[in-house]
Amino acid sequence: MNGSLLTVRGLSAAYRSTAVLHGVDIDVRQGGITALLGANGAGKTTLLRAVSHALVKTCGSIEFDGKRIDGLSTDSIARLGVAHVPDGRGTFAQLTVEENLLVGAIARQGRVQVRADLGRMYALFPVLGTYRHKMAGLLSGGEQQMVAIARSLMLRPRLLMLDEPSFGLAPLIVRQIFEVLGQINRDSGLSILVVEQNAQLALDLADHAYVLEMGRVAISGSAETLKTDPRVRAAYLGI
């Protein structure tokens, strides 16, 4: 694929003796938004973990911006510009909102720029500005999801990977979060790989999508094509 930022080829992944992914090929276009759909247990979370080289053993090739990253440490992959907002968010409950965001910038030099980026985050998510001195653990689920996303953005990533950002949140908050994701993508060209159970939401945001079934890509194509695919409509859109 032309202009591919993330290129995954023949990816297999396993936890100890449990093989989960079996020869997966996936691309995220430079500046694009790719959605990853699939039933519970299909291997979506595992795919993101494989890209970040966290918790799983992998084989196959993963290229980021034309360079192999499979085999690198999780930390090195993050420093190259791959941010991962895991499922369950993982905010630091005992730190304030602002301290959480500063943790995201820990690998960066340049305090002035970091300060400016804090301001950008509060402009994107005004509620985080209001609560910047509040313990993250005291925020609502939706606000904590915003903290997790903002913290990842503080790394100034080139690829943002999100694992079910809508999980357990009220529709209004979900809409806000997805609007911000679309805005960042349009304004700064940040590429996004988003795992979602909410297929409608994901296909509205994304330009390209993959459906994983039992560790294999079962369906792929443009988001518009997938919206009209009878299998996707029946299994994931409830139409």
Ligand X SMILES: Nc1ncnc2c1ncn2[C@@H]1O[C@H](COP(=O)(O)OP(=O)(O)OP(=O)(O)O)[C@@H](O)[C@H]1O
By CB under 5 A, name the binding residues for Mg ion: 45
**Residue 18: contacted member of Mg ion, ligand X, none (CB under 5 to 8 Å, by partner type):** ligand X
Minimum separation from the CB atom of position 131 to Mg ion (A): 28
The minimum distance between CB 49 and ligand X, in angstroms, equals: 7
Question: Minimum Å distance from CB 161 to Mg ion?
Answer: 12
Alpha-carbon distance of 28 to 172, in angstroms, equals: 28
DSSP state of 96: B
Task: Write the binding mask 9 to 28 for ligand X: x where contact by CB under 6 A, - elsewhere.
Answer: ------x--x-x--------
Residues 25-54 that bind ligand X (CB under 6 A): 38, 40-46
- The residues near 84 (Cβ < 8 Å, ≥ 6 apart) are 48, 51, 52, 54, 78, 152, 161, 163
Cα distance between residue 3 and residue 156, in whole Å? 20
144 binds ligand X (CB under 6 A): no
Residues 50-89 that bind ligand X (CB under 6 A): 55
In contact, 5 and 192? CB cutoff 8 Å:
no
In the bound state with Mg ion, the residue whose beta carbon lies nearer, of 58 and 96, is 58
CA dihedral 56, 58, 61, 66 (to 10 degrees): 30
Which CB atom, from 46 or from 185, has the smaller least distance to ligand X?
46
Reported as type and span, the H/E element at residue 6 is strand 4-15
Residues lying near ligand X in the complex (CB under 6 A) are found at: 15, 18, 20, 38, 40-46, 55
